[in-house]
Structure 1
Amino acid sequence: MTNVFSLDSTAITRIEEKMRFKRGVAQAREKELFDIFEKPMSEEEAWALKFLYAYMPLNDLADYEGCLFLNHVRTTLEIREDVRWGRRVPDHEFLHFVLPYRVNNENIEDSRGWFFGQLVDRVKNLSMEQAILEINHWCHEKATYVGCDPRTVSPLTMVRNTLGRCGEQSTLLVAALRSLCIPARQCYTPRWAHCDSNHAWVEAWADGKWYFLGACEPEPRLNEGWFRGPAKRAMLVNTRVAANYPGPEELTLAHPWYSEINLLSPYAPSKKITIRVKDEKGNPVPGATVIFQVYNYADFSPIATIPADERGEAFLTAGLGDLLIHSVSGNFWGTKKISVKDADVFDIQLSDKLPQNGISVFDMVPPQELADATEDAITEAEKQENNRRIQEGASIRKKYEASFVDTLQAEELAKKLSLPASRVRDILEKARGNSHEIAAFLQEYTPRYGEWTLRLLESLNVKDLTDTFGLTLADHLIQSAVFKEMFDEETFMRYVLCPRVHFEMIRPYRKFFLEIFTDSEQRSFRDDPVKLVGWLSEHFEIVEDLNYYQGMATPIGSFRLQKGDRLSRDILFVALARSLGIPARLEPSERSPQFRFGESWNDVVFLQQGDPERTDLSDNKEIGSIRFIANAAADNDLEYFRNFSLARFENGQYKTLQFTAGKKDFYEESLVVKTGSYRLTTGTRLPDGTARVQFATFTVLPDRTTEIIPALTKESVQAPVLGSVDPDLSFSFFNGKRSALGELAERRGLLMAWIDPDREPTKHLIRELRELSKEYDDWGGSICLVVEDDKVTAAFQPNAYEGLPAETDFAKDVSSKGLQSVLTGIQSELQYNLPLVFVVDRECRIRYLSAGYKLGIGKEALQVVRQLDEESVWAR
């Protein structure tokens, strides 16, 4: 028994049992992980360490050593004693929201003490609420938003590179807050219902109350942020805790190794609904899996997965929009679209019948948009001081970014090494705070390996360049170089040389793997890669359900532990194969492991007996194909995860094929796929966020081509007159020009937007304009992006925005006078949320407007300007 951390007898017993279980699972790494318990430590240290181990994901048991976790515990407990509010933080909040070393799926580093040292002097005389705001200002000095791949870099990498997506910004802020013994948690709306994508922010605890804030986006007060309005339309807001969490919040999932907490109620109107799962005779189906899905990126994404109780019922507090409910139990399944606001209880019936081929059309309606008002408005003085701090933070960040390898240095290095200057410049620019490390690698290894040093770097994802170091790169270059003459350059670079398999952290592993096997074994595996599959089948144990992020162990960690989830095993196979000179990959649509032998890709099948089967795609009788046929009466701009997706029915569920987002070449050649029942999902977003969805279900037969005509109907665009603007309103551009609004609009109309360049919503708009650059150039009208003077920070450089439509210019708006003039001409109330986007016709009438965060503004505005162009043609 112990009184440490207010643990009761039930919690103590549970921790001890889970600790023993983890020790058994990780016995292959007993010394590295558990020898630390032989060291002298206090009772508090011992129980903190046991708590972390008890709920530690399997991936962390594979990749890290006990000394890291002990150092983390000791530093955290010391900080609790050092800060004034440390002992005011209750044990419940401390255990669940201060002690944990992990926030998301980031690489773990012993960084808590470093963050404490950076921040303690800035907050030592502040209240907890003031400290939270101050720490967020520090995070803004270190990092800002950029869209990037879903791998989460560590907080230290964020500080080093200054850019990351919202999930990484919030990981940084949570890590920083916890380093000062402030309870903090990363919050997600898993998927928006009214537009694509999702968002992450932070909740922090101060003196008995939880507050929210946007990570690296400072506001004058807590419970503020640009996402506050969109969050009112959320279907779910949740956070994940590595524990059997005892509350007080509602749980969406009480998993044996982690919990998911439902945090929606403070953000959005909501209600608790019950899903009753029944069989074909109307009997309850206990234990059925109930998946709550929203339409997002032309697919149906799960926001919660909840097992039905003994009465066949599953519960969720959700926003007042539409959900697609999918339930499965063994071979029985069922799907039903519901509107949360319509009822409290919904029945879904399961059947073992295969999906019927056919078409279904329906709307997915999100929660309605609500006014975002605050009772206690922020004063002008508070706004000005916060803007001053934001300007100051951006200047600090900009000064640090000036230390990165610059264009001149990159070109000098390229010349010295006889490498193409543009390619070296591109790599070093992407490497950001890691650019000196990458430059040193090029300088050391190019004289011996020539352009392959550069080719290795080009084979990586952009984010890999920011946190992969020279020793790691050298391992992959040196050990793979002996195989380069065995393959054509493309095959060698992508499937042998490249260390990136999925979204795992890249580590050096090739030399290690090559030393494990004798030369004879290596030759045997290369001559017949099926033998490698067999070896791994015998030596690796699948352990599912211990990770809340799949496939995040490194290959060398999985190998040493000899256990992991299936995705980690598949990643390990690819890494082993490439290390041995066997081209390998995760297949692009299925993410299943394959090796290349001769001229064909072969599926890998792991059997528990260690007796693998080879499946050669060129001879597989269970393979068919899908051919898309263009419809002359429809919009034929197919783009994966924008307006369509494809899923195969498997084990009672639809498994979405994972083609690259944005892939467009679907009419050019047939897709080779496994046979079975498929569902084509197409969808169009309406201006209010409603998704007009069509399911087309069909069957792919062996050795047959199934032809499909995607239903991408063109929506009629409404462009009512919403007001008018003064044609004499003058814009002063950053390039020195000055033009009147009427002059800008007279030729083809005008797209103008008031933006905040340092905030995520504006960065999404800029990205969309880049992606639609060709289409806007075809239109040919003016695009005016306006920045108010208090939003112009040191980080804002108009010349740095490459790839925008040719007629785009940035303008200044001193004291917001231009915006005030535009707003006076609008005939309806409009909330002041940036970006504010307007389409103005040639008569200076406002025909479209959008306020605040929403993905798809660029496409909506493009549809309007095209329609206005057609109107002008008919008028002439």
Structure 2
Amino acid sequence: MHQSKTLYSPYKKNIESVLDTAGGNRAQIETFLYKFNNNHEKMQAAEFLTANLPPCDSATLPSELLIENLDYAFLARESTLWGKDVSWADFLNYVLPHRVSQEEAVKWRKIFYQELLPIVSKCKTMREAVLAVNLWCFSKTGFESTQRWDQNPLMTINRGYGRCEEAVIFTVCALRSVGIPARQAMVPAWQHSNDNHTWTEVLIDGKWHYLESANPDYGLDYAWFSGSVRKAPLVESYAYGNVKQPEFPVLGRRVGCTLLNTTSMYAPASRAEILVTDSDNKPLNKVTVYFSVFNYASLRPVAAKQTDENGKTSIILGPGSVFVSAAYENATAYAASTWIPGEETSRKDIQLKLSPNNKPEGTILFRFNYSDKLAQSAPAKNSEGAKKIEFDSLKKDRLAKFEGMKKGAEIFDTALSSSIAKAGLNTPEILEALNSCSEKESEFMAETIRQMETADLIKISSNELISNADLALKAREDAGKAGLKYDDKIFTQYVLSPRIMYEQLQPWRSSLYPFFRLKKGDKISDKINSVSRFVQSLSTVTRGPLGNSLTPLGVFTSNRASNDDEINIFAVAALRSAGIPARYLDEQGWAELFDGQKWTPFYPEKSSMTGKQNATAESTAYYSNWRTIKFGLNGFPKGSKPPQYFKDFTISKLENDSFFQIVEKTISGSCNENIWEISIPNGEYYLISGTRNANGEPTVSLIPIKQGQ
């Protein structure tokens, strides 16, 4: 081990924990950590970055990525007019970090610095530079909905568009690359409509401002959502590491991250004091209290707080109604809290008195509308004024690059061109893979590309594609020799596919195949058991809100996982690497494997239960005949527009008796004359519906659907 001054570092305990969780990647993190022993400032920065690394980064990041990130962060500090004016604390929290949210960490900083430094060097102030960087971001990407997992900034360039969080990741990285402190801000769930939104905050001359990411329609402190955010239930901002002297209240301190409650920066805000007791009024310690709003026709949590030894907690919330819930052992409590500015000066205190056999039920109006005398009027859009020609030209140039890629794909393979072209600026990598693969791999390579998510096509390399196909075909051959055979459709979807669920795509097969491959004489059942044994050997690691989930490669390298999703996704990858078809039923919480005839349940942590459909109450319900419920909704009479799932109603589960989770996949149904008939596995659910008034305020109904009802 290297000798380091880390022994005396204030981050010593956290660094030791990170190195421990790095597993087989420990040497890479140590190389980075001890690289700067002869430079005191850089050494401090390396220790700060290391101490707050999320598990996904400590398990997989190469040292050169972290070294380049740190070197170029300091280079920006030295080579921009404002670099040295940024305080050391703000530099650590908002300039130095290599990641913004839950994207895969990649080497973006040098690329962005080299392209943006000539642009911002012409700017006389940081404010001017912020707008110049945002315009550059607009030249690279537009807005469009994508997938559930976050693109990294280089993927967004390759794709030419991203959703709001991906635009934030891209813009924050661009700003940080030239020494401008920036962070992500978010409304976890709107209450006046569905969905959520996230945007960029920048620190200029000691004051935080906001702007719409990669969208130069407006300047600072105004965006399309400026009116909507005045009704936000909560706004939270993310800082890498521990913020020691925060300007805003701390919503929570998590692993490697400080969540700041910045609601008051955008909307009227009031603190709610919550007391949680048992039925005898005894205060309850360490009880999690959830705060939810009506969104996507369910009650979606926007925050969670834990009580202290006096049974108390508090939170600053914006205007409107929230559903407040808590559970402890077999006792629960539910309440609605409403604060309307102008009607009351502050939100009333809330007592949750927990009692057994208590379930939420009934109808309530969720309010949020108020007379807002401070609302801003929208300034003129830049894209509609004098700069329209410039903006249109930037967009045209961006789109032209993708048209060129599309034409190249059409020339190469007309039949496959639409799939290839989804790779955007990564199209040359896909073409190289198709051109270089063996004849045996060729058929399956084309099918892989047809089925791959766009988010995977824009980042995967030709070598990774070829290696994935080669090893999958070898694994299929190994499985065949062991007596397991299946058709090409099963192979393509459940062995060859490198994607399992919503994890970040990393090349796991080249590491897992040598370890889990079926050797001569191995039995399929023994290999399944060996996967279970590996899973059972995994240690638990705590994960914060920054950083993506541990990928199969990350779990394998670190020998750790933070939740059941990571365990099951890894188990599926391990089985596929051995040529055993597998998939993950994420709503159920277990995997399935194909035995050559049928799909059977696989519980990675309990090998004795493998293949047993009645192993648990949940699996028994899932594999048995599903129940059918039939209902109509108030406000949707026969002949009117039928109620829609996610918009007007959902079937939701009350998880841990504390918060609701929408049933998205384990459900089927049809609507006839505004009467819905829905099939779901037997169990306890809630029919949640809402009808909005002229102000958009929903009257929300919660109806329990009991077991066997």
Q: TM-score, normalization: structure 1?
A: 0.72
Q: Distance between the aligned counterparts of 2:167 and 2:41, measured in 1?
A: 31
In the TM superposition, what are the counterparts of 1:166-245 in structure 2 within 5 Å?
166-219=164-217, 221-245=219-243
Match of 2:656 in 1: 651
Cα gap change, 1:630/1:597 in structure 2, threshold over 3 Å: closer, same or farther?
Answer: farther
Letter of the 2:354 counterpart? L
Q: What does residue range 861-876 of structure 1 map to in structure 2 within 5 Å?
A: none
What runs of 5+ residues in structure 2 fail to find an aligned partner?
1-5
**Alpha-carbon distance in structure 2 between the residues aligned to 1:549 and 1:37:** 20
Alignment of 1:502-517 (within 5 A): 502-517=501-516
1:80 matched to 2:77 = yes
Q: Give the structure, 1 or 2, with the largest relative contact order (CA under 8 Å, sep 6 or more).
A: 2
Residue type of the alignment partner of 2:301: P
Identify which range, 51-60 or 304-313, moves more after superposition: 304-313
- How many Å separate the matches in 1 of 2:381 and 2:538? 62
SS at match of 1:276: strand
- Counterparts in 2 of 1:460 and 1:379: CA distance versus 1, 3 Å: closer
1:472-513 CA deviation, whole Å, 9 max, x = no partner? 222222222352882234433322221111222222222322
Q: Any conservation in 2 of the 1:290–1:308 contact (CA below 8 Å)?
A: yes
Secondary structure in structure 1 of the residue aligned to 2:157:
helix
Structure 2 equivalent of residue 559 of structure 1: 556
Match of 1:781 in 2: none
Match of 2:14 among 10, 15, 18: 18
Quote how far apart the aligned CAs of 1:38 are: 4.1
8 Å contact from structure 2 (residues 159, 425) kept in 1? yes
Question: What are the ranges of 5 or more consecutive residues in structure 1 without an aligned counterpart?
Answer: 1-8, 416-420, 707-876
Matched, 1:614 2:618: no
Q: Decide whether the 8 Å contact of 2:552 with 2:570 is kept in 1.
A: yes
1:593 Cα deviation after fit: 2.8
In structure 1, what is the Cα distance between the partners aligned to 2:645 and 2:593? Answer: 26
1:689 aligns with 2:696: yes
Kept in 1: contact 2:257–2:546 (CA 8 A) = no
Q: Please list, as runs of the form range in 1=range in 2, the aligned pairs for 1:255-266 lying within 5 A after superposition.
A: 255=254, 257-266=256-265
State the Cα deviation string for residues 46-65 of structure 1 (Å, max 9, x = none).
11011011111111111212
The higher radius of gyration belongs to: 1
- The one-letter amino acid of 1:690's match is E
Q: Distance in 1 between matches of 2:680 and 2:68?
A: 51
Match of residue 848 from structure 1: none
- Please give the per-residue CA displacement for 1:779-801, whole angstroms capped at 9, x wherever unaligned: xxxxxxxxxxxxxxxxxxxxxxx
Tell me the alpha carbon deviations over residues 512-555 of structure 1, each in whole angstroms, 9 at most, x when there is no partner.
Answer: 2221146348943x235640443223432122x33325862221
2:127 to 115, 126, 129: 129
User: Deviation of residue 388 (structure 1)?
Assistant: 3.7
- Answer whether contact 1:220 1:383 (CA < 8 A) is retained: no
**Contact 2:201/2:209 (CA < 8 Å) preserved in 1?**
yes
Which one of the candidate residues 360, 364, 386 is aligned to 2:362? 360
1:699-743, Cα deviation, whole Å (9 max, x unpaired): 335xxxx5xxxxxxxxxxxxxxxxxxxxxxxxxxxxxxxxxxxxx
**Matched-pair contact (CA < 8 Å) for 2:424–2:458:** yes
Structure 1 residue 434: Cα displacement: 1.8
The alpha carbon displacement at 1:666 in A equals 8.5
Higher mean alpha-carbon deviation, 565-574 vs 82-91, is at: 565-574
When residues 521 and 510 of structure 1 are mapped into structure 2, their CA distance, relative to the original with a 3 A threshold, is: farther
Contact 1:640/1:659 (8 A) holds in 2? no
Deviation at 1:573, TM superposition (A): 0.8
Letter of the aligned partner of 2:393 in structure 1? Answer: E
| Residue equivalent to 1:428 | 420
Task: State the distance in 1 between where 2:82 and 2:617 align.
Answer: 67
Cα gap change, 1:664 to 1:80, in 2 (>3 Å): farther
What is the alpha-carbon distance in structure 1 between the residues aligned to residue 380 and residue 670 of structure 2? 52
Q: Name which of 425, 431, 434 aligns with 1:439.
A: 431
Q: Aligned-pair distance for 1:178?
A: 0.5
Q: In the alignment, what sits opposite 2:569?
A: 571
Write the mapping of 1:292-691 to structure 2, written as runs, cut at 5 A.
Answer: 292-341=291-340, 343-353=347-357, 355=359, 360-368=362-370, 370=372, 374=376, 384-406=385-407, 409-414=408-413, 421=415, 424-445=416-437, 447-482=439-474, 483=476, 486-517=485-516, 519-520=518-519, 523-524=522-523, 526-527=524-525, 530-543=528-541, 545-548=542-545, 552-566=549-563, 567-597=565-595, 599-607=597-605, 612-614=608-610, 616-617=612-613, 623-624=620-621, 625-629=626-630, 631=632, 637=642, 639-654=644-659, 656-660=661-665, 671=679, 673=681, 676-691=683-698
Equivalent position SS for 2:650: strand
Q: Contact 2:325–2:659 at 8 Å: present in 1 too?
A: no
Q: Give 3-state SS (helix, strand or coil) of 2:122's partner.
A: coil
1:112 corresponds to which residue?
109
The CA deviation at 1:217 is: 0.8
Distance 2:659 2:517 in 1: 43
How far off its partner does 1:289 sit?
0.4
Partner amino acid, structure 1, of 2:657: G
Q: Distance in 1 between matches of 2:330 and 2:547?
A: 24
1:202-234 superposed Cα distances (whole Å, 9 cap, x missing partner)? 111111211111111104531121111111111
Give the % identical residues: 24
Give the Å deviation of 1:92.
2.0
Q: Given the two structures, how large is their TM-score scaled by the length of structure 2?
A: 0.88
**C-alpha deviations, 1:164-190, integer Å up to 9, x for none?**
001011111100000111100111111
CA–CA distance in structure 1, aligned partners of residues 32 and 615 of structure 2:
53
**Contact 1:270-1:318 at 8 Å conserved across structures:** yes
Q: Against the structure 1 CA distance between its residues 636 and 592, is the aligned structure 2 distance closer, same or farther, given a 3 Å change threshold?
A: farther
Comparing 382-391 with 563-572, greater Cα deviation is found at: 382-391
Conserved? CA contact 1:628–1:670, under 8 Å: yes
Alignment partner of 1:55 is 2:62: no
Partner of 1:129, secondary structure, is helix
Distance (Å, rounded) in 2 between the aligned partners of 1:576 and 1:398: 40
User: Is the contact between residue 219 and residue 386 of structure 1 (CA under 8 Å) also seen in structure 2?
Assistant: no
Q: Is the contact made by 2:14 and 2:52 (CA closer than 8 Å) also made in structure 1?
A: yes
Aligned to 2:3: none
Q: Secondary structure at the match of 1:286?
A: coil
